[in-house]
Structure 1
Amino acid sequence: MNKLFKAKGVKKPNYTLTAVLMVIGIFVILGPLYMAIVIAIKSPNEMTNVLSLPSHIQWSNFTKAWNMTDYPQMFLNTLFITVVNIIFTIITNSMAAYAITRQRRKNKFFNLLYYYFISAMFIPFNVIMLPLVKQINTFHMDNVIGITFLYIVFGLPMNTFLYAGFIKQIPTALEEAAIMDGATPFQVFFKVIFPLMKPMHATVAILSFMWTWNDFLMPLVLLSNPSQQTLQLSQYVFQGQFSTNYNLAFASYMLVLAPVLIMYIFFQKYIISGVVSGAIK
């Protein structure tokens, strides 16, 4: 048997190299997280060695960071933008992708529309940032509602690309059977196609959540009212003219990171299954 494996060129796995790579990966991922936690629970006098554990845990850093950033209000703003964006992104983007995918071979307009959306993926936000700010101010959309609408629109190119690849795998016979039973186009989509796209809905929801929750640049240039800022934008309060309070800043970073970690702990089953199923499709 060993000779047979050698003849076919089958090599044994290198467990030593695998173990070394795993250790390196653990340090690369957990190292920055360890530093962030340690700095967040230290006092400013103990910052000479950022890797050492504190002599006394400063839980007051989190209380001060909570108050300085007005965490409850900023959290509600960010949560509203994220949740509304995910709901309307899944509904509207999947509808657009379905119409484009099914019609692009029959109609040149939909084929052109598909490539128009895909081409938008290659345009950096920095290129359109200044004209967008001017336009948003003109239409008085420099608020939470306006930026939520923009997240839905800007996510359309990438989500169209993802949904289109998934919809191609769904047999058209299902739609034809529903139409023969008297279903309208909307009924075909919402009762037949939409439920079949659950794996891709999960993938799009994950990507939309991570993008919206962690985005800093768009709220920075678009939100003009301080009471409507997001959690990421509120971190600016720790940046002084001549110094930065790293202990409070990192405590605030941990507060911002906590909802993401909690969501992953409770929904990791659906996150992993959605990504894997979407990749297989």
Structure 2
Amino acid sequence: MTNKKINWAATILLAIGALAVLIPLYLTITIAFKTPEELSSNLFNLPKHWMVSNFTNAIKTTNFFVALKNSIFVSFFSVILTVLTNSMVAYAIARNMDKKFYKLLYYFFVSAMFIPFPIIMLPLVRQTSTWHLDNLFGLILLYVVFNLALNTFIYVGYIRTIPVELEEAAIVDGASTWRVFWKIIFPLLGPMNATVAILSCLYAWNDFLLPLVLLSNPDMATLPLAQYIFQSQFSTNYTLAFASYLMALAPMLIVYMFSQKWIISGVMRGSIK
């Protein structure tokens, strides 16, 4: 057997990175169950009395279930529309990359990944307000558009690995382009559809800045925005605040833990070409 050398530099960096994630997560969980007195006495100790009532109080004060309903509504429809529309756009580009227009269109979409949101934030708010899209439906539409850049990149790379002969055979049998896409290409995009759906869901669920600048009605607040409103009103009640943070964090944390392999493998497959 050959002894493999340990890369201590990489190991130390990975350990530091793991601690940078685990320590805040530990504090979030423990603070959510503490009393204010326990929080002020020692930050890192486990709670002596696990205060489940913090969560019930946080649910009442943050209007949690209304915000949860809004987040589920936005995340669900943004995922469905993103997968359906972005895959069609990417298919049209991938099968016409030999044409100058589609190649320019591909680079135009991909270049949008490098544009910071604050640059377009104010014009976007003005435009959505003028078109009466400063609501949950406008939020869904913007998520679909903003996801297009990354999704085009990973979809196109994957679609170009699918043999064109499959489509040519279907066209010879009389299938239209629309039928070819939905009956042949879209089912083959299963791994990429799963990756895009998970990434889009995480983005829509966790996003804070876009709902903050777009939504003016508090009844439309998503979970991240509801946490911000609660914190601004009860800035000193950290135990309730962290209980609300934990409830908002838990669903997507569980989703990511069980789906991270699809996310990583999908991005790797989409970057082949």
TM-score by length of 2: 0.91
Q: How many residues align structurally? A: 269
| 1:247–1:109 CA distance, 2 compared to 1 (3 A) | same
Between 208-217 and 24-33, report the one with greater CA deviation: 24-33
Q: CA deviation at 1:16?
A: 7.8
- Say which SS state the counterpart of residue 244 (structure 1) adopts: coil
Q: CA deviation at 1:119?
A: 1.6
Report the counterpart of residue 61 of structure 1 in structure 2: 54
Report the counterpart of residue 253 of structure 1 in structure 2: 245
How far does the alpha carbon of each residue in 1:125-178 deviate from its partner, in whole angstroms, 9 at most, with x for none? Answer: 100000000000000000001110110011111110110111111111010001
Between 202-211 and 16-25, report the one with greater CA deviation: 16-25
Report the counterpart of residue 188 of structure 2 in structure 1: 196
- Say which SS state the counterpart of residue 232 (structure 1) adopts: helix
Q: CA deviation at 1:275?
A: 3.3
| 1:15–1:149 CA distance, 2 compared to 1 (3 A) | closer
Report the counterpart of residue 131 of structure 1 in structure 2: 123
| 1:263–1:243 CA distance, 2 compared to 1 (3 A) | closer
Q: CA deviation at 1:94?
A: 0.5
- Distance, in Å, in 2 between the alignment partners of 1:162 and 1:216 is 25
TM-score by length of 1: 0.88
Letter in 2 for 1:89: T
Taking only the aligned residue pairs, the percentage that are identical comes to 52
Gaps of 5+ in 1: 6-10
Instruction: Tell which structure's C-alpha radius of gyration is larger.
Output: 1
| 1:140–1:58 CA distance, 2 compared to 1 (3 A) | same
Q: CA deviation at 1:53?
A: 1.6
How far does the alpha carbon of each residue in 1:162-202 deviate from its partner, in whole angstroms, 9 at most, with x for none? Answer: 10111111111010001011111011001111111111111
The answer to whether the 8 Å contact 2:78/2:140 transfers is yes
CA-based RMSD: 2.2
Q: CA deviation at 1:241?
A: 6.9
| 1:109–1:158 CA distance, 2 compared to 1 (3 A) | same
Report the counterpart of residue 211 of structure 2 in structure 1: 219
How far does the alpha carbon of each residue in 1:87-121 deviate from its partner, in whole angstroms, 9 at most, with x for none? Answer: 1111100100000111120x222122111111211
1:82 to 75, 98, 102: 75
Q: CA deviation at 1:64?
A: 0.9
Gaps of 5+ in 2: none
